[in-house]
Amino acid sequence: MNNEGPAQAVLRLDNIVKTFRQGERPLHILNGISAEVRAGELVGLVGPSGAGKSTLLHIAGLLERADSGDVVIEGQVASQLDDGARTALRRGTIGFVYQYHHLLPEFSAQENIALPQMIAGARKAEANARALDLLSQVGLAERANHRPARLSGGEQQRVAIARGLANRPAILLADEPTGNLDPHTAEGVFDVLIDLVKNSGLAGLIATHNPALAGRMDRVLHLEDGGVN
């Protein structure tokens, strides 16, 4: 008999509201969004363009503030934190992967993964060892010394995924991580993403327009007209 309870909610969104202004007209993007993502769970975020997927990810990742509502990460209520504490919480618990890889062109694949660790306080040797381990996990150990220009689009995005995991976050937020890739390459990159999230016990929230990829998630949040279902 399994007496284990459900996995902990690493990320919880409580009644998130966000409004922008277009001239004199308010645009109600998020109208009381509540959701949670648990450890080891991969949750898709789908919806039409302009529905607010990126805005919701930015709020969940503490890059942007909601007008009202709370973001709770590993039990910490972000609205109760000052900017310095929010930055520390984001750096220590959240990994990001974007549609475009945003790798630093003057640095190698290994250096791109090591740098965030050193910024967070890791020693160079430790950061480089962790970077090599992650490159091995995404199948790119032999590309460690290659700069982004020498990598294919799929390889660049795999490096970006490894970089997002460099500081051992509790949650990975990804915004259209395969949006710039052809279908075959996208599927391979997504295989890597799924394996890393599952093997690391992370919570993953992934925005995508790709229904085939969304269908491989543990569950999907549909964002439309300011709400989720």
Q: Identity (one letter) of the amino acid at 81?
A: L
Confidence of residue 11 (pLDDT cuts 50, 70, 90): very high
CA of residue 137 relative to chain centroid, distance:
18
CATH code of domain 9-104+154-228: 3.40.50.300
Q: Which residue has the higher pLDDT, 79 or 61?
A: 61
The answer to whether the CB of 180 falls within 8 A of the CB of 99 is: yes
How far is the C-alpha of 20 from the C-alpha of 14, rounded, in Å?
A: 19
pLDDT for position 153:
87
- Domain edges within the chain: 9-104+154-228
pLDDT for position 203:
92
The answer to whether the CB of 15 falls within 8 A of the CB of 69 is: yes
Question: For the ranges 87-96, 148-157, 178-187, 220-229, which has the lowest average pLDDT?
Answer: 178-187
Q: Which residue has the higher pLDDT, 5 or 204?
A: 204
The pTM for the full model equals: 0.88
